[in-house]
């Protein structure tokens, strides 16, 4: 017998180790919280090799103190040592002279009660290290040592070598003994991007002894050799991370090691595995370039929240112009930096403000950081989140993002068309923004009753690669009363891309695979066959734009066809532009009610097509689907009024906080935002959890109390205007 929703929600209550929903801090008995778990502001000045000539430690620490930072990151060593190191083959800055720049900066920070994290780099070393220890370095297939692309005098170190288990630990211990920093951070390692394939003797031996093969030509997830290598690679990262964390704590048990993660939606390395070893997740997602949408930073926050169970997450805000091309010593516009910082805190992360070079000629970046951090400090309790208030979960399908249709190539292709797997999420994400929905991300490996318990709806944006266990978890969620939305090839393959005979979730979708993926096609359509609540609001049309690709499906239950496929027909010349088949029996959507659950399945890549085309009809179709899945369940927050915005709602230490990010801007999808376009008035309806009352409502950015009405469905207020970002505190 399937579990009831009440039984499903209670399934994990007996567990002794309690993890929490995204953004929710796990409660522990009387264990003191580590210093970094209550940190709210962080800064970094990245030294260059010439900085010992001119850098003024007191002036720099006066600046960071003016931002009221809890911690600051300072270059210690690795590629370049900024202190008088005695570790052989660690290159000392040639401009260091008699100075101990790192030590001077540490002393200046501690005079101002600022904690210090030593910023290290384990990725490159100099010729003298190569001459003494060639086994430390990565090799190309032809046996040549890998060099840094822009600095060919630097050589790439190999993670599987003793550089990571002997040389870096020696450097950590030296810094620990001399300065006892509060933590260590590695620039650029391990990252979340693609795995590197090294052909050094050590790695060739690993392939032979542990994997049973030779290093492959490419990172093809279809290759059994690569799959084994992936597991070995992730295990090596975990091993090193744990080792470095223990070394960091040898002198000071409150110290911590922090790896470099980030990449927003684009991840190949297993962030779930990384989240299991990371006490502190630092997302190195400093800004955007080309056509990256402004909300990319909020996406990064959601990805990190999906694996960290309420533990510390920081995000680096690059104060420089990290566009394309990049200008490392020019400030990005204040508006762009401010909205990036706003997304960091709105999504539950801690801001980490960053500049490169100790003697900047462009100082326009300083004031935006000072203003925002000062405001944060004034309102700090309202950014101590206990849990998210969202009732909607979006699956973060990492296997699909990492491996979908890649076949070992850099460009992923579907029927000879280059595909970006992130676009499936982007289209859904944009529809959720337009619909003003509250939502969280949930990592596909966290599909447990406990993690799903807070949510009424689970959205699956082309989660093509799913494990059997993940399909079963989704099936049990629906059996317990949860509702789902799925699109395109969801559950068509296992986690590595091995094709199933049918959808893994065919029993929920109500249809079966009838053929290969069809497309890409322009000028195909969806026909509205009969009325349905999802199809309301489209006005005087019986057709909607069709997706670029679709899965051929069949075996739909008789009398259940709501939307059908109108196949592609020519777009030119005009005389030939007419449908050859005005209607078919092939479903373009499936809307099902299964007991207390509802299911929406769209066989087309509607989310990706909506993102690429901007079609308001497809965006509305997605949004209407989510509304229908929510049934009559009132969302905790409803915001009405004009503008493009993103909302987050948290239970906080003092009460509740609603974050409204104003994305209404001509530069929302390309850098840089230079000024803001205020929106408002906005009408907000907030339904606090049962038993919670509201006695005061205040806008933290505007700094004013708001009148409110207490009604049956919650508290109602009007926000006069939102310039860039507003936080409404309910206490």
Beta partners for residue 394, in sequence order: 441, 459
SS3 state at 493 = strand
pLDDT single digits (tens) 136-178: 999 999 999 999 999 999 999 999 999 999 999 999 999 999 9
Structure tokens, 496: 């590595």
**How far, in Å, CA of 610 to CA of 622, rounded?**
9
| Cα torsion angle, 135, 138, 142, 148, sign | negative
What pLDDT is recorded for position 651?
97
Q: Tell me the angle at which helices 57-66 and 101-111 cross, rounded to the nearest 10 degrees.
A: 40
- Confidence band, pLDDT 50/70/90 cuts, at residue 5: very low
* Radius of gyration of the CA atoms of the chain, in A: 27
- Confidence band, pLDDT 50/70/90 cuts, at residue 408: low
Q: Is 50 exceeded by the pLDDT of residue 273?
A: yes
pLDDT single digits (tens) 456-488: 999 999 999 999 999 999 999 999 999 999 999
**How far, in Å, CA of 270 to CA of 444, rounded?**
11
Report DSSP state, residue 163. I
Structural domains in the chain? 40-121+159-192+228-378 (3.20.20.80), 392-629 (3.40.50.880), 637-730 (2.60.40.1180)
Q: Is 70 exceeded by the pLDDT of residue 428?
A: yes
What pLDDT is recorded for position 582?
86
- Confidence band, pLDDT 50/70/90 cuts, at residue 713: confident
Mean pLDDT of 236-247: 97
Q: Which of 419, 193, 441, 175 is nearest to 295 (CA)?
A: 441
Residues 6+ apart with CB under 8 A from 118: 73, 74, 75, 76, 77, 102, 175, 179, 181, 183, 184, 185
Q: What is the maximal distance between C-alpha atoms in the chain?
A: 85
Reading across the β-sheet that carries 714-719, which strands appear in turn? 637-640, 682-686, 714-719, 709-711
Q: Which of 287, 264, 259, 263 is nearest to 275 (CA)?
A: 259
Q: What phi, psi does 203 have (nearest 5°)?
A: -70, -35
Q: Is 50 exceeded by the pLDDT of residue 25?
A: no
As a whole-number percent, the residues of the chain with pLDDT over 90 amount to: 85
**How far, in Å, CA of 187 to CA of 444, rounded?**
28
**How far, in Å, CA of 407 to CA of 579, rounded?**
36
Q: Is 50 exceeded by the pLDDT of residue 346?
A: yes
Q: Is 90 exceeded by the pLDDT of residue 427?
A: yes
**How far, in Å, CA of 594 to CA of 478, rounded?**
8
What pLDDT is recorded for position 238?
97
Q: Which of 632, 609, 627 is nearest to 619 (CA)?
A: 609
pLDDT single digits (tens) 47-86: 999 999 999 999 999 999 999 999 999 999 999 999 999 9
What pLDDT is recorded for position 19?
36
pLDDT single digits (tens) 488-523: 999 999 999 999 999 999 999 999 999 999 999 999
Q: What phi, psi does 325 have (nearest 5°)?
A: -70, 165
pLDDT single digits (tens) 81-105: 999 999 999 999 999 999 999 999 9
Query: Which pTM value belongs to this model?
Result: 0.94
Pair 371, 319: CB distance under 8 Å? no
What pLDDT is recorded for position 532?
96
Pair 657, 384: CB distance under 8 Å? no
Residues 6+ apart with CB under 8 A from 180: 251, 252, 255
Q: Is 50 exceeded by the pLDDT of residue 3?
A: no
Q: Is 70 exceeded by the pLDDT of residue 526?
A: yes
Report DSSP state, residue 157. B
Q: Is 50 exceeded by the pLDDT of residue 9?
A: no
Report DSSP state, residue 258. E
Report DSSP state, residue 499. B
Mean pLDDT of 397-420: 86
Structure tokens, 135: 């086994």
- Confidence band, pLDDT 50/70/90 cuts, at residue 8: very low
- Confidence band, pLDDT 50/70/90 cuts, at residue 337: very high
**Nearest 5°: CA angle at 572, between 567 and 575?**
95
What pLDDT is recorded for position 30?
67
């Amino acid at each position: 017998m399937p579990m009831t929703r009440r039984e499903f929600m209670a399934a994990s209550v007996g567990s002794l180790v309690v993890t929490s929903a995204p953004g929710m801090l796990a409660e522990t008995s009387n264990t003191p919280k580590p210093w970094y778990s209550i940190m709210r502001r962080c800064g970094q000045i990245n030294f260059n090799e010439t900085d010992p000539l001119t850098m003024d430690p007191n002036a720099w620490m006066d600046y960071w103190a003016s931002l009221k930072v809890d911690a600051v990151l300072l270059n210690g060593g690795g590629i370049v040592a900024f202190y008088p190191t005695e570790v052989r083959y660690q290159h000392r800055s040639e401009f260091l002279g008699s100075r101990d720049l790192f030590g001077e900066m540490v002393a200046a920070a501690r005079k101002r009660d600022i904690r210090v994290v030593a910023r290290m780099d384990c990725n490159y070393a100099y010729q003298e290290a190569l001459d003494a220890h060639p086994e430390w370095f990565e090799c190309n297939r032809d046996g040549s040592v890998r060099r840094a692309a822009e600095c060919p005098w630097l050589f790439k170190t190999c993670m599987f070598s003793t550089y990571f288990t002997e040389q870096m630990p020696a450097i950590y211990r030296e810094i620990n003994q001399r300065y006892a920093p509060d933590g260590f951070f590695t620039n650029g390692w391990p990252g979340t991007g693609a795995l590197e394939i090294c052909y050094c003797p050590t790695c060739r031996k690993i392939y032979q002894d542990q994997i049973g093969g030779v290093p492959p030509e490419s990172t093809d997830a279809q290759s059994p050799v690569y799959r084994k290598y992936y597991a070995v690679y992730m295990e090596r990262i975990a091993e090193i991370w744990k080792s470095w964390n223990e070394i960091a704590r040898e002198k000071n048990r409150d110290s911590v090691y922090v790896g470099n993660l980030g990449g927003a939606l684009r991840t190949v390395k297993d962030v779930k595995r990384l989240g299991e070893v990371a006490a502190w997740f630092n997302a190195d997602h400093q800004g955007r370039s080309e056509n990256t949408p402004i909300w990319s930073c909020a996406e990064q926050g959601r990805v990190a929240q999906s694996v960290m169970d309420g533990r510390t997450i920081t995000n680096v805000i690059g104060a420089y112009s990290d566009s394309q091309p990049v200008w490392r010593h020019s400030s990005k516009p204040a508006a762009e930096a401010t909205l990036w910082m706003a997304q960091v805190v709105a999504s539950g992360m801690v801001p980490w403000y960053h500049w490169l070079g100790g003697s900047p000629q462009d100082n326009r970046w300083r004031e935006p950081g000072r203003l925002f951090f000062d405001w944060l400090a004034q309102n700090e309790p309202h950014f101590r989140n206990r849990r998210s208030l969202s009732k909607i979960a979006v699956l973060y399908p990492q296997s699909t993002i990492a491996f979908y249709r890649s076949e070992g190539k850099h460009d992923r292709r579907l029927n000879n068309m280059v595909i970006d797997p992130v676009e499936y999420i982007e289209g859904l994400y944009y529809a959720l923004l337009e619909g003003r929905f509250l939502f969280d991300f949930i990592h596909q490996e966290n599909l447990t009753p406990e993690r799903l318990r807070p949510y009424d709806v689970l959205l699956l944006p082309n989660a093509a690669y799913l494990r059997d266990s993940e399909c079963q978890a989704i099936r049990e969620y629906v059996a317990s009363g949860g509702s789902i939305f799925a699109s395109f090839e969801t559950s068509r393959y296992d986690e590595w891309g091995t094709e199933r005979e049918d959808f893994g979730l065919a029993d929920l979708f109500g249809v079966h695979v009838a053929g290969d993926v069809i497309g890409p096609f322009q000028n195909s359509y969806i026909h509205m066959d009969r009325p349905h609540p999802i199809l309301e609001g489209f006005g005087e049309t019986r057709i909607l734009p069709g997706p670029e690709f679709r899965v051929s499906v069949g075996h739909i239950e008789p009398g259940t066809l709501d939307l059908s496929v109108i196949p592609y027909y020519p777009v030119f010349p005009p005389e030939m532009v007419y449908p050859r088949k005005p209607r078919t029996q092939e479903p373009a959507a499936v809307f099902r009610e299964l007991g207390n659950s509802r299911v929406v399945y769209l066989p087309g890549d509607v989310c990706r097509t909506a993102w690429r085309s901007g079609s308001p009809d497809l965006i509305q179709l997605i949004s209407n689907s989510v509304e229908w899945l929510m049934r009559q369940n009132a969302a905790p927050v409803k915001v009405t009024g004009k503008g493009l915005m993103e909302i987050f709602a948290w239970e906080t230490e003092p009460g509740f906080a609603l974050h409204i990010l104003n994305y209404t801007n001509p530069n929302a999808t390309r850098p840089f935002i230079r000024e803001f376009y205020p929106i408002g008035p906005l009408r907000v309806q907030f339904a606090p959890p049962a038993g919670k009352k509201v006695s005061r409502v205040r806008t933290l950015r505007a700094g004013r109390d708001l009148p409110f009405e207490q009604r049956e469905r919650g508290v109602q207020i009007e926000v006069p205007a939102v310039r860039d970002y507003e936080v409404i505190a309910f206490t």
